[in-house]
Structure 1
Amino acid sequence: MKELQDIVNAFDKAAGAGKQTALATVVLVEGSSYRRAGARMLVTEDGQLTGAISGGCLEGDALRKARLVMAQNKPMLVTYDTTDDDDAKLGVGLGCNGIIHILIEPLFPENPNSPINLFRLFLSKRQPVVLITVFSLNNRQATQPGTCLLMKADKQTRGAIPDDEIKEAVLGDAKEVLKKGNSVTKTYVYGNGYTCFIELLQPAVALILFGAGNDAIPMVEMASVLGWQVTLVDGRANYAVSARFPLARKIIIAKPDQALLQLRFDERTVVVLMTHNYNYDMAMLRQLLPLQLSYVASLGPKKRLQRMLNELQDEGLAISAEQLRSIYGPAGIDIGSENADEIALSIIAEIQAVLNKRKVNSLRDKIAVHNRETTVVTENNL
């Protein structure tokens, strides 16, 4: 959730300078668009933008409307329709073949339940939450309540639903979103006929890298760009130092039998074994398998991983089919990686795909990673 953290940081800076701000949120998309519902952008009165609600085509018009929202201190629902000729006249030119509904709401630092403070609550802990944004889709001139309630994993809430007649139904739907893990948008025909964007927010990915070699450097850098929380673990004190890995959130120097005592795991934790030390990697794999993480990668050839798994089974460790499905080796997707930077990109992409339940061509599914044709030059070829 790097975008939310960036928005909070930008808001704090603007508030400290006494600037007015507004938050633009994509609350509903009909058809296709560059960003889906949940995309956000902070706008300051002097035109500074943090985050994005499109590929750049909506930001200019949204800035103009955000300034109006700040002047009136009143939320506004804006709809962009790619089939509407007026959008082309405005210079929007979406080209996405979709209808995008964006809620723009003024932000007030003194409001304890403002969207920014709800973001802070979410970002303070590694737990999924549901964020509820209420708007009137059928009447854009009606009151647009905006981002109003957060429900935590323990079902405790902060904020309030503005319509008592739909409160019970909305909270029930929020619990279902927490249970099923999918955001929904629902219109309630009773009460004021509000539409609610009931959004699941997941914590940032926690990436644990075992190995502080040179090839771990681009892994840490790329993961940090995405806002992932990176922990580096290695037994070599001269390798695992902050001077080499300034972007790592935490660096642990530990032998395999002590490493896990200093780590915490949750549903958004992923692991990459890249120490290039067979015994260290196998010792960690032995401890990680029972945790049933969603993604554990092993750098190196397939036969190296298979040898580790065979030895663990020979030791008497029962490895289930479900556990095997969570192990990726060789690590990464098939993009023809050669150097450390490209390998890091392929692994980061694979992690993203696995967490989002997307099908990709993983290297673990190939018989050979590097399968190059060799051209034999003879006199006839010259």
Structure 2
Amino acid sequence: MLNIAETLLRWCRDARPFALATVVDVRGSAPLPIGTALAVDTDGNAAGSVSGGCVEGAVYDLCRQVLREGGTPHRARFGDSDDEAFAVGLTCGGELDVLVRAVDPTAQPQIASALDEVVRGLPVAVAQVVDGPVGLLGATLSVLGDGRVVSGTLGDGSVDTVVVDEALALLRAGRTARVALGGTGRGCPGPLSVLLQVHAPRPRMLVFGAVDFAAALSRAGAFLGYRVTVCDARPVFATAARFPYADEVVAEWPHRYLERTEVDARTAVCVLTHDAKFDVPLLRLALSLPVGYIGAMGSRRTHDERLRLLRDEGVSEEQLARLCSPIGLDLGARTPEETAVSITAEIIAHIGGGSGLPLSRSTGPIHPLSSVDRRRHGPRPPGTRTTTS
């Protein structure tokens, strides 16, 4: 439903009931991904799409039927092996499952709350039960990027906790996914399948210092999906031509730029200037902000002197403990490109709660973080998986 959030929020504010059809499963070459939605209000107005046009008419009719009947959500499958699906036009070779449910904004205010977060541009994940007990089918819960549940419940506190963990991981990755929750352990009442629709603007990487290492790091950051800014006080070096992979290049004193820019718990701050007149005011400010990673380049001697100057500026030991310096993991890096890999590897490990050790030298699960650890360190990008709750 996030693809039509503005329209749905307007309908909610008008207290206008509507039917919401959501793609909850896709196999093969179906036209649109999971989470895509089409909505139909009580006047017959439609918004969105579930198939790029192939089966819109059939889904529209199903929405109208659900609005008339109310009550239990309806599940439908369309695919080229299904005569009915072929008749309505899904001939692309894939299959899609659609869940249609009636929404009454006055009785379900949590829907409007979630949509409001999306329209305001905040990172939010909206969880919806798409398989499970009839009483839970269609239940929703929305989670902000900091782990706060802002609206809704899936009917059980232990289930909500597991879903919050999954939501945080997917917010970090910036992707929508369907997650299976098993029926054993942690109080999960039975097998559930939850669609987690994610609205997550790209995380930011702020690179201070227009040096060769910054050029390589901006390229690596862009590859990882960051929105990269390179900032340097020297206009002759801070040019877009020198940093083609950066989303923006800013010629300004680093701490002044950081004062006026937007950051959050997913932001990575990389200080590559190793010059005290830039580093100290910049790091003093950065260490007071709720960013996910702060690293600074320099030798161990530079690092020790930097710590002394920061302490003289009143930076606490607790704040200094957040500083990753010298920046990067020990990979034996020499070139700017190798150093960029070293830095981004440390960012991934730091935000994901990893040790940075070779997996061949560790034991136990490869993804061992508990929900408490994930909230402390931030979530790690997930792969495709099934979770036992």
The alignment's TM-score, normalised by the length of structure 1, stands at 0.53
Unaligned ranges ≥5, structure 2: 1-28, 36-49, 54-77, 87-93, 104-113, 171-178, 359-389
Which moved further from structure 2: 328-337 or 277-286? Answer: 277-286
Distance 1:135 1:241, change over 3 A: same
The AA in structure 2 aligned to 1:239 is F
In structure 2, C-alpha distance between the alignment counterparts of 1:174 and 1:127, rounded to whole Å = 18
Match of 1:236 in 2: 234
Match of 2:347 in 1: 351
The alpha carbon displacement at 1:247 in A equals 2.8
Q: Deviations over 1:26-57 (max 9, x none)?
A: xxxxxxxxxxxxxxxx9999xxxxxxxxxxxx
Distance 1:277 1:290, change over 3 A: same
Q: Percent identity?
A: 23
> Which one of 27, 31, 36 corresponds to residue 21 of structure 1?
31
In structure 2, C-alpha distance between the alignment counterparts of 1:282 and 1:358, rounded to whole Å = 28
1:72-151 → structure 2 map (5 Å cutoff): 72=85, 105-106=96-97, 125-136=121-132, 149=140, 151=142
Match of 2:303 in 1: 305
Matching of residue 169 in structure 1 with residue 156 in structure 2: yes
Contact conserved, 1:23 with 1:105, CA < 8 A, in 2? Answer: no
In structure 2, C-alpha distance between the alignment counterparts of 1:227 and 1:186, rounded to whole Å = 28
Contact conserved, 2:206 with 2:229, CA < 8 A, in 1? Answer: yes
SS of the aligned residue for 1:313 comes to helix
The AA in structure 2 aligned to 1:336 is G
Contact conserved, 2:295 with 2:325, CA < 8 A, in 1? Answer: yes
Match of 1:248 in 2: 246
In structure 1, C-alpha distance between the alignment counterparts of 2:84 and 2:354, rounded to whole Å = 43
Contact conserved, 1:210 with 1:233, CA < 8 A, in 2? Answer: yes
> Which one of 338, 341, 354 corresponds to residue 342 of structure 1?
338
SS of the aligned residue for 1:251 comes to strand
Matching of residue 225 in structure 1 with residue 223 in structure 2: yes
SS of the aligned residue for 1:271 comes to strand
Distance 1:237 1:196, change over 3 A: same
> Which one of 326, 329, 332 corresponds to residue 322 of structure 2?
326
Contact conserved, 1:22 with 1:104, CA < 8 A, in 2? Answer: no
Unaligned ranges ≥5, structure 1: 1-18, 26-41, 46-64, 74-102, 113-117, 363-382
The AA in structure 2 aligned to 1:320 is E
Q: Deviations over 1:62-86 (max 9, x none)?
A: xxx975589739xxxxxxxxxxxxx
Aligned-CA RMSD value: 4.7
Which structure is richer in relative contact order (CA contacts within 8 A, separation 6 or more)? 2
In structure 2, C-alpha distance between the alignment counterparts of 1:156 and 1:269, rounded to whole Å = 22
Q: Deviations over 1:275-311 (max 9, x none)?
A: 2433111221122222253321111212212101112
1:362-377 → structure 2 map (5 Å cutoff): none
In structure 2, C-alpha distance between the alignment counterparts of 1:205 and 1:69, rounded to whole Å = 42
The alignment's TM-score, normalised by the length of structure 2, stands at 0.53
The alpha carbon displacement at 1:198 in A equals 6.6
In structure 1, C-alpha distance between the alignment counterparts of 2:236 and 2:84, rounded to whole Å = 57
The AA in structure 1 aligned to 2:243 is F
SS of the aligned residue for 1:21 comes to coil
The AA in structure 2 aligned to 1:328 is C
The AA in structure 1 aligned to 2:355 is K
In structure 1, C-alpha distance between the alignment counterparts of 2:83 and 2:238, rounded to whole Å = 48
In structure 2, C-alpha distance between the alignment counterparts of 1:361 and 1:186, rounded to whole Å = 30
In structure 1, C-alpha distance between the alignment counterparts of 2:83 and 2:122, rounded to whole Å = 33
